[in-house]
Chains A and B, each alone.
Chain A
Amino acid sequence: EDQVTQSPEALRLQEGESSSLNCSYTVSGLRGLFWYRQDPGKGPEFLFTLYSAGEEKEKERLKATLTKKESFLHITAPKPEDSATYLCAVQAGGNTDKLIFGTGTRLQVFP
C-alpha cells in the first residue's frame, strides 16, 4: 500500500537554527514527490516537486532533496515567518493526479 510518513510531528526552532524535516515513502512507481506549506485556516501552498532520486530544489531558505526512499526539507537560518505546517505528498503511477499525503510537520520558529 502506498504510504507517506513525516517526522518529526512538531519542531520548535530558534530563529537562525537550521534543521531538516523528513518524509519517507513507499509507493509503486513514483511519478512525483511534492512539498506544500500550510498556514492555519488556509489551503496548502505548493513549494516543490521532485521527480527522481538525486534531484534537489531550492527556494529562499528551503531546500528539498530526494532519494529512493525519502525526501528531506532543509530549512537554513529560519525566520518566524517560516512557521507553518509542512506537508509531503507523493503521486503514484497511473492516469491520476491523486496525491497521498503525510500528516505533516508543524514548525514553530521563535525570535
Chain B
Amino acid sequence: KAGVTQTPRYLIKTRGQQVTLSCSPISGHRSVSWYQQTPGQGLQFLFEYFSETQRNKGNFPGRFSGRQFSNSRSEMNVSTLELGDSALYLCASSFTGGSSWQYFGPGTRLTVT
C-alpha cells in the first residue's frame, strides 16, 4: 500500500509570491491534516479536512488556506509569502478520524528568499 505522497518535495520562492502544495493520502483515508514544522516552533497544526470539509483550523493567518477534493487529495496554498513561512510542510492522513493513527508524508521543504 502506497504511503502519503507530497509534491513537490522542495520549493524555493520569493517574498510576495504564492505557493500551492499537494498531498495524496493513503488509499481509503478520508482525513487529511497539514502541519508546519520549524526549528523554533516544532510541529504546528494548520488545518484538517474530512470528506472535503474543513473540520478544524489552527492559529495561522488567512494567507494559509487549503482544500480537499472528492478523491481525498488535498492542497494547501500560501499567498503573499513571507520569510518566516520557510518551513517543512507535512501532510498526514488517517482513515476515519477520531483517535485514529495519522500517517505522515515526507513533507515539502519551502524556502522563501
A contacts, CB < 8 Å to B? 31-32, 34, 36, 41-46, 49, 51, 87, 89, 91, 95-104
Contact = CB atoms under 8 A, between A and B. Distances in A.
B8 interface: no
Given A43-B106, A97-B92, A98-B56, 15 more contacts: A34-B101, A44-B43, A51-B99, A87-B42, A91-B99, A97-B31, A97-B55, A97-B94, A97-B100, A99-B33, A99-B45, A99-B92, A101-B43, A102-B42, A103-B42
Given A95-B55, A99-B45, A31 B90 contact: no
B102 interface: yes
A1 B109 CA distance: 29
B98 interface: yes
What 10 A-B pairs are tightest by C-beta distance, nearest first?
Answer: A43-B104, A103-B42, A101-B43, A96-B56, A32-B99, A31-B99, A44-B104, A97-B97, A43-B106, A98-B56
B56 A49 contact: no
Nearest to B3: A43
B39 to A, nearest CB: 9
A99 B98 CA distance: 11
A97 to B, nearest CB: 5
B42 A99 contact: no
Interface of B: 4, 31, 33, 35, 41-45, 48, 50, 55-56, 58, 90, 92, 94, 97-107, 109
A103 B41 CA distance: 7
Contact of B105 (A43, A49, A97): A43
Contacts of A103: 41-42
